[in-house]
Amino acid sequence: MISLRKLSVLREGTPVLNNISLDIALGESIALCGPSGCGKSTLLKTLLGGCHWKEGEFLFEGDKVTAATIQKIRKRSGYIGQENALGGVSVLDAIKQPFQFAAHRSRLFPENEMQRLMQMFSLSEELLERKPSSLSGGQQQRVAIIRVLLLKPDMIIADEPTSALDAETRDAVIQEILATGRTVISTSHDPVWLSHCDRVIFMDNGQIMKEERDVRYG
Ligand SMILES: Nc1ncnc2c1ncn2[C@@H]1O[C@H](COP(=O)(O)OP(=O)(O)OP(=O)(O)O)[C@@H](O)[C@H]1O
């Protein structure tokens, strides 16, 4: 689905990713892991066209990625960031926001699915009327995940998706994101999340150091 070939990325003139080669197949779940600042988030952002590569190749479904194909990737992806900027007057507004974008406007908002996910992630419906900024970090993270899941993207790109969650809600999020057979490209330091991914890619200093399959911790 995605192939990176000897990709190098600069941020403000400084090399951040060096010589990254990585193939990600449809339906695979990948986690990037490594010390703070090693380039994990930059790699995720590059996949969505947020950072530009100066050398190497980026292929999506066999085609070289250009401005047009980046749009194709974005349309088929849901991004869960480290900072969950939930706009809107209320949490319900924030969840419904993507359904007002041109790409999704023709879709019916899946009310029942939202209620199911709220329950799965231990969020009471009373939260829907609250201001997004009044929610705790973990509540905001779960709302951001619900917002992405309701769009049913083929691919989820998630930066530390369980960082603010307790064990119970973390397990529910793993169930909904990783146990559904979709393509997932994530960063994580959470051993339980890592143990549910098909492949864990270890990075350091802007490079891929090694890769492990069937990682089991604890
Ligand atoms: N907007 C930016 N402009 C310039 N440099 C940046 C920017 N964002 C990140 N960097 C730099 O790029 C390098 C990689 O950062 P990145 O956020 O990709 O690391 P990370 O591995 O995801 O770290 P963390 O685990 O702390 O989130 C760091 O040296 C960082 O200072």
Question: Candidates 16, 187, 201: which one to mutate for ligand 1, based on the most atoms within 8 Å of Cβ?
Answer: 16
ipTM of the complex: 0.96
Number of domains into which the chain is organized? 1
| Residues 71, 89: Cα–Cα separation, whole Å | 28
Q: Is 12 in the pocket of ligand 1 (CB under 6 A)?
A: yes
Which residue, by CA, sits nearest to atom 28 of ligand 1?
37
Q: Note whether 125 and 114 are within 8 A (CB).
A: no
Q: Is 75 in the pocket of ligand 1 (CB under 6 A)?
A: no
Q: Note whether 53 and 7 are within 8 A (CB).
A: yes
Given a cut of 90, whether residue 78 has pLDDT beyond it is yes
Query: Could you tell me the distance, in angstroms and rounded to a whole number, from the CA of residue 181 to the centre of ligand 1?
Result: 29
Instruction: Kindly state whether residue 139 falls inside one of the protein's structural domains.
Output: yes
User: What CATH code is carried by the domain that includes residue 26?
Assistant: 3.40.50.300
Given a cut of 60, whether residue 122 has pLDDT beyond it is yes
Provide DSSP, 113-137. HHHHHHHHTT--GGGGGS-GGGS-H
Q: What percent of the chain has pLDDT over 90?
A: 75
| Residues 156, 148: Cα–Cα separation, whole Å | 8
Mean pLDDT to the nearest integer, 35-45: 96
Instruction: Kindly state whether residue 176 falls inside one of the protein's structural domains.
Output: yes
Rg over alpha carbons for the chain, rounded to the nearest Å, is: 17
Token reading at 76: 């088929």
- Parent domain of 202: 2-213
Q: Is 46 in the pocket of ligand 1 (CB under 6 A)?
A: no
Query: How, if at all, do strands 183-187 and 29-33 pair?
Result: parallel
Query: Of 177 and 101, which is predicted with more confidence?
Result: 177
Instruction: Kindly state whether residue 153 falls inside one of the protein's structural domains.
Output: yes
Token reading at 152: 């049913």
Condensed to tens digits (0 to 9), the pLDDT of residues 82-95 reads: 876 777 789 999 99
Condensed to tens digits (0 to 9), the pLDDT of residues 140-156 reads: 999 999 999 999 999 99
Give 34: exposed, middle or buried? Use CB within 10 Å, 0-12, 13-18, 19+.
Answer: buried
Mean pLDDT to the nearest integer, 66-74: 84
Place of tokens 């190749």: 57
Q: Is 16 in the pocket of ligand 1 (CB under 6 A)?
A: yes
Query: Could you tell me the distance, in angstroms and rounded to a whole number, from the CA of residue 42 to the centre of ligand 1?
Result: 6
Instruction: Kindly state whether residue 107 falls inside one of the protein's structural domains.
Output: yes
